């Protein structure tokens, strides 16, 4: 277990978390601007959850040898993974079981202190409908792929949890 403990206390592990989130954000922008697929408000919220994963990785990279920094990074990672899975699951439900009574908003509801859609509209402004199913790969929708991604983040978090908080011997 000491090799995994050392890995958790290194910048590489946290950098990989941040990098994987950046790759997911770039893929989302590729779908939006190259493939011309309009993101819905739930897609934008999923992007924010991925942004949380990036921030968790950056927090962990600050000083991964300090227990408190790893702890804050782990909590951010867990919250982002669970929240992202919940959002992707909700979006998947809207796409699989469309209903005129269960629709998403056209406008994101960010807190007034953090209006991401105003600060960076090219990334965080929705232009699509949640019930649209614009893309699939291997018969799996984008929302379902994101559920898989967030589940993987959650499993990796579980693997990293004990070695990250357990003292070195």
Active site residues: 40, 43, 47, 104, 130
Tokens for 138, please give them. 């291997």
Three-state DSSP class for 109? Answer: coil
DSSP 83-132: HHHHHHHHHHHHHHS-BTTB---SS----TT--HHHH-HHHH---S-TT-
Please state, in angstroms and rounded to a whole number, the distance separating the CA atoms of residues 101 and 144: 22
Cβ pair 88, 143 in contact under 8 A? yes
Nearest Cα to Cα of residue 158 among 89, 74, 76 = 74
> Which residues fall within 8 angstroms of residue 51, CB to CB, at 6 or more apart?
21, 25
């Amino acid at each position: 277990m000491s090799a995994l403990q050392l890995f958790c206390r290194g910048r590489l592990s946290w950098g990989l978390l941040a990098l994987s989130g950046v790759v997911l954000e770039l893929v989302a922008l590729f779908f939006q601007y190259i493939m011309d697929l309009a993101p819905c408000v739930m897609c934008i919220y999923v992007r924010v959850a991925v942004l949380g994963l990036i921030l968790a990785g950056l927090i962990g990279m600050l000083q991964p040898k300090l227990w408190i920094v790893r702890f804050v990074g782990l909590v951010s990672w867990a919250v982002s993974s669970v929240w992202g899975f919940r959002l992707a699951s909700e979006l998947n439900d809207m796409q699989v079981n469309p209903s005129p009574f269960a629709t998403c908003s056209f406008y994101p509801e960010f807190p007034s202190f953090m209006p991401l859609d105003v600060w960076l509209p090219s990334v965080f402004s929705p232009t699509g409908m949640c019930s649209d199913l614009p893309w699939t790969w291997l018969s799996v929708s984008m929302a379902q792929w994101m559920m898989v991604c967030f589940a993987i983040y959650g499993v990796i978090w579980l693997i990293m949890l004990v070695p990250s908080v357990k003292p070195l011997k």
